[in-house]
């Protein structure tokens, strides 16, 4: 693929993005504006994540792409192919083998290490956006640490539903300073945000990059009498029997039958290969 | 006694035109000051300059803060001024929609200032919201309704509750009864008078309705073309107007 520069973007653009990433890492949770480029995919399909990945990739990297935890859905497959074609890097579905993982809406179940980078695709980076539509005002609120409004949203949840019903994109406070939208990951994944790997967040349409460095304190916002709870379906995986993984609910037929399976396909596969079997799993499924 | 608010030579120009000019006065704790005048006389400009919404071109607004004593709010840092704006100050807009979050329930609207100053206990926030709904005569059952479902008078009362929940010492009101029908106005005024007396609030009320200042204000300033033309005790100014414009204003009130 000599028609493209390595990883699609030209070197000057990657340099610009890397500067934004470094700034983001230096100020954890702060949304760094960057000159987002037009990518060969529509907005909302991960243009921000792709640009961050492109700027982070080196020829020696091994890339994994997941979409809602799965390696084999459209979004994941096409982005993985995109980098196979334009960067010629090795790809993998194995979480532990990957050096860079681009993700949409999940954090892998397997514990990530210090040699790995997790890149998130972010639709709307501003956690205060739906409460305060003015960008000038939200920037001021961030700079002055005026985060009372974020709790108004949680208050509304409790007053309407009796519990904090926000189940994804659950707001967090990073390093005791910036309130951040962790992208639409389920709140089950929020405790995992304190991890050993570098986490980078790219929002292409909104032109923002932010980051959480390794071992950074990330606190999910809550009330004293309604503490944060990482919730998942009260079930085990029907294929691999895992009790500790986030589950997708799959409707089986019109008669109301359903099954729960790990949303992280690699985690489920590796467990089945290790001999774990869930209630609906078959001996030879793996 | 130290004045709660000392205003010295406030001036605001919009290009060549005068917004307000050379306004000075002192406001003492517990005192209610009315500012009257016709449309375009600079009342709202002055109020916005005092409340920190507009930067004045010249002058000082010295507020007696709880911690540091008198401080000039024009030159203080923005975080400090905004902190004042949600603790010791309150601002009641003419249109309740400007002062409320229309997509947030009544309870959330009242609780916002509490959460902004660090309250993190849902039960306590909700109890205080319900308490304040009662004080502004809104039924407790409406606590989870959005202000869009409220009548104009209820919205205005909700706005007042939302502002007073943190126990401010100074309230700025911009035509608080504008746009309400007279019977609702009367109830709102009654409520405001009760709250002001009960909480010992100081207030600055901008209005063009002389009945409002007659009921609420201890002192009165009359503005015309950006200047204060007359000031004094409310009854004195209204019963014995000296300036030609004040005489016109007083005589223009319709008698039913």
Predicted-complex ipTM score = 0.86
Beta partners for residue A33, in sequence order: A208
In this prediction, residue B181 carries a pLDDT of 83
Q: For chain A (length 286 residues), average pLDDT per consecutive 10?
A: 83 97 97 96 93 96 95 94 94 96 96 96 94 92 92 94 93 96 96 97 97 97 95 92 94 92 94 91 59
Q: Is B120 exposed, middle or buried (0-12, 13-18, 19+ CB in 10 A)?
A: middle
To the nearest whole Å, the CA of A144 is away from the closest chain B CA by 6
Q: Which of A101, A97, A96, A69 is nearest to A83 (CA)?
A: A101
Residue A209 C-alpha, separation from nearest chain B C-alpha, in angstroms? 26
| Residue matched to tokens 């803060």 | B65
| Residue B120 at interface with chain A, using a CB cutoff of 8 Å | yes
Partners of residue A148 in chain B, C-beta under 8 Å: 86, 112-113, 115-118
Catalytic residues of A, by residue number, are: 29, 237, 240, 262, 268
| Other Cβ atoms closer than 10 A to A15 | 11
Residue A107 pLDDT: 96
The 10 Å Cβ neighbour count of residue A214 is 16
Quick one: pLDDT at residue B180? 81
Backbone φ and ψ of A32, nearest 5°: -90, 125
Q: What pLDDT, on a 0 to 100 scale, did the predictor assign at position A285?
A: 47
pTM of the model: 0.87
Q: Determine contact, residues A121/A183, Cβ cutoff 8 Å.
A: yes
Hey, is B47 helix, strand or coil? helix
Contacts of B104 in chain A (CB under 8 A): 131, 152, 156
Residue A2, pLDDT score? 64
Q: Could you give the C-alpha distances from A218 to A190, A215, A268, B59, B219, in angstroms and in order?
A: 8, 9, 27, 45, 53
pLDDT at A154: 94
CA terminus-to-terminus distance, chain B: 42
Contact A223 B144 (CB under 8 A): no
Look up tokens 């229309």; give the residue. Answer: B102
pLDDT at A268: 94
Separation between Cα atoms, residue A208 and residue A194, nearest integer Å: 21
Q: Is B53 in CB contact (< 8 Å) with chain A?
A: no
Question: How much is the pLDDT for B191?
Answer: 87
CB B202 within 8 A of CB B173: no
Spans in chain B with pLDDT lower than 50:
none
What pLDDT score was predicted for residue A283? 58
Q: Which residues make Cβ contacts (< 8 Å) with residue B223, sequence separation at least 6?
A: B20, B35, B36, B37, B41, B42, B43, B46, B229
**Dihedral over alpha carbons A63, A64, A67, A71 (to 10 degrees):** 140
Å between B109 CA and nearest CA of chain A:
8
Question: Which helix H or strand E contains A283, and what residues bound it?
Answer: none
């Amino acid at each position: 693929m000599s028609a493209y520069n390595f990883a699609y973007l030209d070197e000057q653009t990657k340099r610009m993005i890397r500067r934004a990433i470094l700034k983001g890492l230096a100020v954890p949770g702060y949304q760094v504006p960057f000159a987002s480029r037009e990518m060969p995919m529509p907005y909302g399909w991960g243009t921000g994540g792709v640009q961050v990945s492109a700027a982070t990739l080196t020829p020696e990297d091994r890339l994994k792409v997941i979409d809602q935890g799965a390696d084999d859905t459209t979004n994941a497959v096409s982005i993985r192919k995109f980098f196979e074609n334009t960067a010629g890097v090795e790809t993998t579905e194995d979480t532990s083998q990957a050096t860079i993982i681009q993700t949409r809406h999940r954090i892998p179940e397997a514990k990530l290490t210090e040699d790995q980078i997790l890149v998130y695709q972010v639709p709307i980076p501003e956690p205060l956006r739906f409460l305060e539509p003015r960008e000038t005002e939200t920037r001021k609120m961030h700079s002055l640490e005026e985060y009372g409004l974020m709790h108004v949203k949680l208050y509304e949840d409790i007053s309407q539903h009796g519990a904090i019903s926000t189940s994804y994109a659950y707001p967090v406070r990073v390093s005791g300073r910036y309130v951040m939208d962790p992208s639409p990951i389920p709140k089950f994944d929020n405790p995992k945000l304190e991890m050993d790997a570098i986490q980078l967040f790219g929002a292409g349409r909104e032109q923002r990059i932010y980051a959480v460095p390794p071992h950074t304190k990330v606190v999910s916002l809550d009330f004293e009498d309604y503490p944060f709870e990482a919730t998942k379906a009260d079930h085990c995986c029907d294929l691999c029997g895992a009790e500790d993984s986030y589950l997708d609910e799959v409707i089986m037929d019109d008669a109301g039958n359903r099954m729960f399976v790990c949303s992280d396909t690699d985690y489920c596969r590796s467990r089945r290969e290790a001999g774990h079997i869930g209630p609906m799993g078959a001996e030879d499924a793996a | 006694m130290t004045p709660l608010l000392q205003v010295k030579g406030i001036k605001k120009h919009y290009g060549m035109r005068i917004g307000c000019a050379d306004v000075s006065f002192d406001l003492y704790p517990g005192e209610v000051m009315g500012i009257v005048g016709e449309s375009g006389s600079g009342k709202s400009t002055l109020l916005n300059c005092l409340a920190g919404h507009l930067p004045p071109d010249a002058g000082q607004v010295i507020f007696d803060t709880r911690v540091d004593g008198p401080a000039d709010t024009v030159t203080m840092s923005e975080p400090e001024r905004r902190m004042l704006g949600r603790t010791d100050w309150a601002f009641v807009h003419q249109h309740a929609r400007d002062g409320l979050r229309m997509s947030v329930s009544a309870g959330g609207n009242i609780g916002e200032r509490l959460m902004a100053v660090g309250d993190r206990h849902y039960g306590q926030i909700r109890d205080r919201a319900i308490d304040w709904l009662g004080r502004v005569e809104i039924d407790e059952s409406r606590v989870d309704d959005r202000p869009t479902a409220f009548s104009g008078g209820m919205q205005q009362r909700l706005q007042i509750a939302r502002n007073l929940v943190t126990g401010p010492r100074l309230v700025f009101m911009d035509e608080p009864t504008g746009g309400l029908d007279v019977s609702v106005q009367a109830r709102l005024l009654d409520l405001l008078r009760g709250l002001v007396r009960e909480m010992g609030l100081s207030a600055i009320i901008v209005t063009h309705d002389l009945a409002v200042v007659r009921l609420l204000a201890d002192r009165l300033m009359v503005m015309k073309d950006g200047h204060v033309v007359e000031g004094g005790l409310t009854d004195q100014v209204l019963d014995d107007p000296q300036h030609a414009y004040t005489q016109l204003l007083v005589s223009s009130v319709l008698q039913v």
